[in-house]
Copies of this chain bind each other. A is one copy, B any other.
Amino acid sequence: MHHIPPVRIKDIADFAGVSVGTVDRVLHNRGEVSNRTREKVLGIIHKLNYQPDILASALASKRDNKIAVLIPGGTDENPFWKYPLAGVEEGLREIVHFGISLERYYFNFTDRESFLRQSAKMLSDKPQGVILAPVFTGEAALLLDSCNELKIPVVLINANICSGSCLAFIGQDSLQSGMVAARLMHYGLGDDSDVLVVNFIRENGNQNHIIKREEGFRNYYRDISKTGDSLLRQVNIGETHGNINGIMRKAILSSPRPVKGIFVTNSRVFRVARFLENNNCGNIILIGYDLLDENKHFLKNGTIDFLISQKPREQGYKSIMALYYHLLLKKEVEKNQYLPVDIIARENLQHYSFT
């Protein structure tokens, strides 16, 4: 097994009987080359399967590839978004040598105006690539269109939007994750206990993944028996709603049979956990999403039975890597990158500390 000497620009030049300058002009198609020689050079590049040395390339070009992340700022109220960002930064460290820099644009995830402001600011900075959390569906779609016009590749993270075209979507298969939750619920409860599905919803937000999660959950129950679906109760709560005691109590009492399990379709499961603890609700199985610190707390003390992780850190990591592969290596990247649905119990929480 011997080292094959890699093909350099010089080799192509010699082969084609031209100079390296000409080959370079062809490679970066910046004109000033006759069609005849262009074709010839391209043919040889293809024939020799030339792969540019990205080290030398990055070293020589000194060009700054700005990547913009446009995501909600991680607040105390919703700390979720600091994890994808951490993943992005982790990936950045591995590729920062190649002349890639990061610009962060935070918006308030309850304030669409702030999203518009920040996206305008971002566009005016002319990034080479964008990582976008489409929290506001309509506005995000418009931004996507703008980026498409400007030929800026966009990676959608966490939630998807159908319209427009993006380089990649990186997130979870929400339907699947709902099914996983249902499987766990049903595995622990059996066939004849009522289950409450709790949605915390937000006006004019992107609810797509929440709907999908509930759908997956229901599908599972429907599939196990004809009457499976009838075990499910459901309640929607406004995200900004203060005290949920009343709503929860009513939802639980209105069930024909006792509620033995609760599935919360997003990360606000800790609010339900608090309710359960304060009201001595006995042995209700509680399943929800995301490893927020509060959620971890209730997972450890047993009030929450399982959390489903969206692997936010890995989402961030994969996002920046997708742009790196596209921008620097010019490689094809997978359009839909669904991350595994992680099941977290008290017992395997420990080594998930940074996920």
Binding site for B on A (CB under 8 A): 3, 53-56, 58-59, 64, 94, 97-98, 173, 176-177, 179-180, 182-184, 187-188, 220, 305, 338-343, 345-348, 350-352, 355
Contact = CB atoms under 8 A, between A and B. Distances in A.
A90 to B, nearest CB: 11
Contact of A348 (B3, B305, B343, B347): B343
A94 to B, nearest CB: 7
21 contacts: A53-B59, A53-B97, A54-B97, A55-B97, A55-B98, A59-B59, A176-B348, A176-B350, A180-B347, A180-B348, A182-B347, A184-B345, A187-B187, A187-B305, A188-B188, A339-B351, A340-B348, A340-B355, A342-B343, A342-B348, A343-B345
Q: Point out which of A53, A94, A339, A355 has the most chain B C-beta atoms below 10 A from its C-beta.
A: A94
Contacts of A338: 350-351
A173 B59 contact: no
* Chain A residues touching B, majority SS: helix
Contact of A345 (B3, B53, B183): B183
Count the copies.
2
The 8 closest A-B pairs by CB, nearest first: A341-B348, A343-B343, A179-B347, A180-B347, A180-B348, A183-B347, A338-B351, A340-B351
A183 B352 CA distance: 17
Given A56-B59, A182-B347, 19 more contacts: A3-B64, A53-B59, A55-B58, A55-B97, A94-B94, A176-B347, A176-B348, A176-B351, A177-B348, A179-B347, A183-B346, A187-B187, A338-B350, A338-B351, A339-B351, A340-B348, A340-B351, A341-B347, A341-B348
Nearest to A172: B351
Contacts of A184: 345
A60 B346 CA distance: 50
Q: Point out which of A55, A58, A182 has the most chain B C-beta atoms below 10 A from its C-beta.
A: A55
Contacts of A182: 347
A58 B54 CA distance: 11
